[in-house]
Amino acid sequence: MRPDETRVVGQLGQSLDGRIATVSGHSKYINGPGCLSHLHRLRAVCDVVVVGAGTAIADDPQLNVRLVEGPNPARAIIDPNGRVPRDLRLFEDDGTRHLAVTAVGTEGDWPEGVEVLRLPRLACGGLCPSAIVQALAKAGLRRILIEGGSQTISRFITARSLDRLHLLIAPMIIGAGKMGLELSPIQTLQEALRPRMTPHQAGDEVLLDCDLRSCPVYS
């Protein structure tokens, strides 16, 4: 990477039927040790790990590096309405930076020390993913891991702001529940994203490393 470049990687741990949680939101743990180690390794090589408000509230994740050697990344939430509670584990003070990406005009109740990045809302009410990437880069955070959930990663893909997607596929069929991706419907398969994909075996699981920038319709 050049010093002025950014890289945005998304990860989804999913079942064979493409689900990342049950209907009640239970998602711990879909993946086994091989894929969980991969996730922690990804965290260790990124500058910042980002989750949406939904995941922060549903899972209260720590988002630190525990299963491999390596530094903890900064931790960021996308919380346009300032609705996450201040006692989340990702805000715990362990010497790393904490950031809240929110909308202009939102006064959230984030703990002291949280760096607040305020962005204008789009007409649809959301925050522009490429503006989020730019704001994080301006804060010195250029290697960005979007760790979920479904809505957050889907918005980044829709905005063409995700470079790579790591799908961690477990030998499990959940049958109903939250899908990993929820994109706008397409009419023909010519419009489908067909990334160049490199598979890796991790025990009885598979990591699919998808290079979204290789898709002809992804620009």
Q: Which residues bind ligand NAP (CB under 6 A)?
A: 12-13, 20-21, 25, 27, 30, 51-55, 58-59, 78, 80-81, 83, 126-127, 129, 147-152, 155, 178
Closer residue to ligand NAP (CB): 74 or 78? 78
Give the shortest CB-16-to-ligand NAP separation in angstroms. 13
Residue 52 backbone phi and psi in degrees, to 5? -80, 165
177 contacts 22 by C-beta, under 8 angstroms: yes
61 contacts 11 by C-beta, under 8 angstroms: no
Give the shortest CB-178-to-ligand NAP separation in angstroms. 5
Strand pairing report for 196-202 and 48-52: unpaired
Closer residue to ligand NAP (CB): 143 or 154? 154
Instruction: Give me 191's structure tokens.
Output: 């419009």
Closer residue to ligand NAP (CB): 24 or 190? 24
Give the shortest CB-78-to-ligand NAP separation in angstroms. 4
Residue (of 152, 9, 139) closest to 79 by Cα position: 152
Closer residue to ligand NAP (CB): 143 or 166? 166
Q: Which helix (H) or strand (E) holds 58?
A: helix 53-59
